[in-house]
Amino acid sequence: MNSDNLPDTTGHDAPKEFCGVCGVYGVENVGATLYQGLFALQHRGQEGAGIATGDGRSVHSVRGLGLVSEVFQGNDWSRLPGHLGIGHVRYSTTGSSRIQNVQPLVVECVDGLWAVAHNGNLVNAGRLRKMYQEAGAIFQTSTDSEVLVHLLADPMYRMRPRRVCRALAELDGSFCFLLMTRNCMMAARDRYGFRPLSIGRLGNGYAVASETCALEQIGATFVRDVEPGELVVFDETGMHSSFFAEPPARGAASCIFEMIYFARPDSCVFGQNVHGVRVQYGRQLAQEHPIEADVVVAVPDSGNSAALGYSLESGIPLEFGFIRNHYVGRTFIMPQQKDRVSSVDLKLAVLPVSLRGKRVVVVDDSIVRGNTARRRVQRLREAGAKEVHVRISCPPIKHPCFYGIDFPTSSELIAGDMNVAEVCRFIEADSLGYLSLEGLFLPFGGAGRFCCACFNGDYPTDISGVTGSKVALETNPELKLDL
């Protein structure tokens, strides 16, 4: 293959995700509780964090760039009084990394203060934003999330019954929204069910979070998931449910990458324990791509469960080959490629004593761009591995995602231009095996309830007009203003 056609090697293999949300109603110590919940969701976003609380009279907010522990350093919870609140951790898939885009967004409408936190990507945000801007509306951020604020403030919705439901029904794409006024919290999930959102009971109150690991962290008991197309309202009269959208004709389209990579292993997502599903992926991978080898090693942390499954099924001993430096963070959610590439070698150390002279099966969750997989194979060989066989617990990623995963163009995807043999040669492995699409859905009895567009190009929504750029909603600096 001509070297001019090789993919860019400045990025990072793993996909990058969006955000995590957590909300509580009817609890004491709201700020501290949400802090703990967001801490459990830190893996979903490291660019910024924020909390907004309500005390029945006003809305209070603290937000900033950085990790949860950095934004809330000092833990002065007197700044966040009240009995309800919502929180957010951010990775920017729409809008650049700046303080204006950190959530929850807090805005003042004619009927009072609203706070909004969003996980996902709206595929019709550009059209709606342009419509409001041409009508004279002013946007304070470059995120797609702010579109909902303008819908809520629009007299066409504000003056009619079921105002929030009507506004949510205008949105298309993936979203889990937490909304809050000074005395009410709401949780909504898109009609496709792309992203997980779970409800828990916390004492006499309630909690909502992107993953059940956050509910467990704050001591809440899981009740159920928010259903696709559902709006759940929490107020002084309890919990109430209504639906703003009918299920799509093709059925739900939950993001399978939550299972493969994003979610924490101790979470239950889409009704299944994440660790258990990943172990099954590893077992299936061993059946589909067996190899004679001496040790199985995982690429931590998201490859751990699949590597265990591969070892159990194949009978090849599981060994420590990589040691993760937990102080580097998850390089997949670093927004700039130069930051990701500088962190590749810092993130994982190699353990030569486990590898020297051995035939190694290395199990990872995905290959996106190919550069990091190539570097890891090189490091295993430098440590003395005799053979390196790469096994991936998902199919080849060939198509861009428009629902919150930051690989928006096919040119960024190594499997978009190369077949398996060519990818194997590029990463310099002795063999390469991907989990089949059929194997991916075996734990669920079929693919009907999941979105797998990044593997097969079958998108659940209309994506015409979507640019795929995370800065598509930014103001054009070259635009000439007519003063």
Q: Which residues, other chains included, contact 268 with Cβ-Cβ below 8 Å and sequence gap of 6+?
A: 198, 212, 222, 274
318-319/295-298 β-pairing: parallel
Q: What is the mean pLDDT of residues 36-51?
A: 95
Q: At what angle do helices 337-347 and 371-382 cross, to 10 degrees?
A: 20
Q: What is the mean pLDDT of residues 121-138?
A: 92
Q: Which residues, other chains included, contact 37 with Cβ-Cβ below 8 Å and sequence gap of 6+?
A: 22, 24, 87, 207, 209, 214, 215, 217, 218
Residue 19 designated active-site: yes
Catalytic residue among 19, 22, 176, 424: 19
Long-range contacts of 215-224 (CB under 8 A, 24+ apart): 215/37, 216/40, 216/266, 217/36, 217/37, 217/39, 217/40, 218/22, 218/24, 218/33, 218/36, 218/37, 218/40, 222/198, 222/268, 223/198, 223/199, 224/198, 224/199
- How confident is the model at residue 435, as a pLDDT? 98
Give φ, ψ of 387 to 5 degrees. -140, 150
Confidence of residue 99 (pLDDT cuts 50, 70, 90): confident
205-209/198-202 β-pairing: antiparallel
Q: Give, in order, the Cα–Cα distances in Å from 278 to each of 262, 264, 442.
A: 12, 11, 11
User: Quick check: 251 pLDDT over 90?
Assistant: no
- How confident is the model at residue 474, as a pLDDT? 52
- How confident is the model at residue 5, as a pLDDT? 31
User: Quick check: 27 pLDDT over 60?
Assistant: yes
- How confident is the model at residue 454, as a pLDDT? 94
Distance, first Cα to last Cα, the chain: 54
Q: Tell whether omega for the bond before 301 is within 30 degrees of 0, i.e. cis.
A: yes
* Element containing residue 222 per DSSP (H, E): strand 221-225
Q: Give, in order, the Cα–Cα distances in Å from 373 to each of 125, 300, 362, 427, 473.
A: 34, 13, 10, 6, 32
Confidence of residue 12 (pLDDT cuts 50, 70, 90): very low
- How confident is the model at residue 76, as a pLDDT? 84
19-25/450-451 β-pairing: unpaired
Q: What is the mean pLDDT of residues 178-189?
A: 97
Q: What is the mean pLDDT of residues 437-444?
A: 94
48-54/59-65 β-pairing: antiparallel
User: Quick check: 340 pLDDT over 60?
Assistant: no
**CA–CA separation, 48 and 51 (whole Å):** 11
**CA–CA separation, 347 and 117 (whole Å):** 30
More confident residue, 440 or 333: 440
- How confident is the model at residue 249, as a pLDDT? 87
- How confident is the model at residue 473, as a pLDDT? 56
CB atoms within 10 A of CB 182: 18
**CA–CA separation, 322 and 70 (whole Å):** 28
295-298/272-273 β-pairing: unpaired
**CA–CA separation, 245 and 168 (whole Å):** 8
User: Quick check: 89 pLDDT over 80?
Assistant: yes
What's this model's pTM, rounded to 2 decimal places? 0.88
Q: What is the mean pLDDT of residues 399-405?
A: 90
User: Quick check: 179 pLDDT over 50?
Assistant: yes
Please, what is the Cα angle at 301 between 63 and 294, to 5 degrees? 170
Could you tell me the two tokens for 402?
A: 């428009």
> Which range in 136-140, 226-230, 299-303 is most confidently predicted, on average pLDDT?
226-230
**CA–CA separation, 320 and 461 (whole Å):** 42
Q: What are the pLDDT digits (tens) for 199-239?
A: 999 999 999 999 999 999 999 999 999 999 999 999 999 99
- How confident is the model at residue 195, as a pLDDT? 96
**CA–CA separation, 379 and 375 (whole Å):** 6
- Residue that the structure tokens 């924020």 belong to: 50
Taking all residues of the chain, what is their mean pLDDT, rounded to a whole number?
88
- 386 by Cβ neighbours in 10 Å (0-12 / 13-18 / 19+) ranks as middle
Q: What is the mean pLDDT of residues 71-75?
A: 89
Q: What is the mean pLDDT of residues 364-379?
A: 95
User: Quick check: 39 pLDDT over 80?
Assistant: yes
> Which range in 8-12, 44-48, 196-200 is most confidently predicted, on average pLDDT?
196-200
- How confident is the model at residue 96, as a pLDDT? 54
Helix, coil or strand: residue 138: coil
Contact 207, 255 (CB under 8 A): no
Q: What is the mean pLDDT of residues 391-410?
A: 89
Domains and CATH numbers, the chain: 19-252 (3.60.20.10), 268-447 (3.40.50.2020)
